[in-house]
Amino acid sequence: MTRLRQKFIEDLEVRNYAASTIRAYVRHVTAFAQYFSQSPDRLGRQQIHRYQLYLVRECKLATPSLSQIVSGLRFFYETTLGRPWVSERIPYPRHERRLPTVLSRAEVAVLLDTPRNLKHRAMLMTLYGAGLRVSELVNLQPGDIDSKRKFIRVRQGKGRKDRETLLPDKLLTALRAYWKISKPVEWLFPGQNPERPISSNAVRLVCRGTAQKAKLSKHVNPHVLRHSFATHLLEDGVDLRTIQVLLGHRDLKTTTVYLHLSPTVAASTRSPLDRLTTPAP
């Protein structure tokens, strides 16, 4: 490992970046340097701009991936190298505002009833019933399930923050049935190696495969179940602030997207036109 790479990693660690973010940033800076076959400290603004065009035009990367790459390069140049970052000339890509996919309650019910594997069913029910991110699901430990208080403790979720979310009765019953058969020790959902948690990709494959068996037309991934959890809470009259806390959103603006996803909320809202009184002739 070069001194520059080591300093980059240490700069990220001392600022408490998540391990997954550190790996991603190091991978992005390494790929950037390899593209030009030079050490990254010898590259600058012009090369970054050319690399962005390459990623957009040839690699056709999605906006979130582009943003993460720019963030990694920015940290490397600003913090590790101590160089100024000219945001006007090295812009972040504009985010496409697309509404996420949401399952109906009937579709969720079919999906959760499909798996015969207790572990798969418990994972899907946890994603939907607690509104977890896939990274939060795979890092759950048996001790995070508080059956007395009916809460699930999410340790070091996104933004390195702990929080508590719901543990509905149906989910608790499913987790108990799964635990009696599997008896997980360190991780609630271990991988093939019981000393390691199941991978996020394996959970995504379970979601996709179960949706295909259930003959759902929508593409289902862990985040679709999280979106469905939030949207259905909103339809049940739960306020946005509570949903924000349960999801672990830092900004309430992130949570307001669910106002656009619920046809029930839209249908129950009256236009002010209908409240106008007709003037007397």
246 falls within a domain: yes
74 included as an active-site residue: no
Torsion, CA 125, CA 208, CA 67, CA 160, rounded to 10: 20
Full-model pTM: 0.69
In a domain, 96, yes or no: no
The CATH number of the domain where 158 resides is what?
1.10.443.10
Question: Could you tell me if 74 and 212 lie in one domain?
Answer: no
Q: What is the mean pLDDT of the chain?
A: 87
Cβ atoms 146, 153 nearer than 8 A: yes
Question: Within a 10 A sphere around the Cβ of 137, how many other Cβ atoms?
Answer: 24
Catalytic site residue 77? no
**Rounded average pLDDT over 77-92:** 74
Domain count, the chain: 2
Name the strand (E) or helix (H) holding 145.
strand 145-146
Q: Please indicate, yes or no, if residue 138 is contained in any of the structural domains.
A: yes
Average pLDDT over residues 249-276: 69
Residue 110: exposed, middle, or buried by beta-carbon count in 10 A (0-12, 13-18, 19+)?
Answer: middle
Task: Write down the catalytic residue from 28, 226, 227, 232.
Answer: 226
Does residue 90 sit within a domain? no
Residues 6+ apart with CB under 8 A from 115: 121, 124, 206, 210
Domain span including residue 141: 105-266
Mark whether 158 and 234 lie in a shared domain: yes
Instruction: Determine whether 3 is an active site residue.
Output: no
Active-site option among 120, 133, 227, 232: 133
**Residue 20 to residue 35: CA distance in whole angstroms:** 23
Q: For residue 213, indicate whether it is catalytic.
A: no
Express each pLDDT in 210-243 by its tens digit. Answer: 999 999 999 999 999 999 999 999 888 888 899 9
133: annotated active-site residue = yes
CATH code at position 12: 1.10.150.130
249 is catalytic: yes
Nearest Cα to 87, choosing from 48, 56, 50, 61?
48
Residues 15 and 130 in one domain: no
| Alpha carbon distance 223, 245 (integer Å) | 17
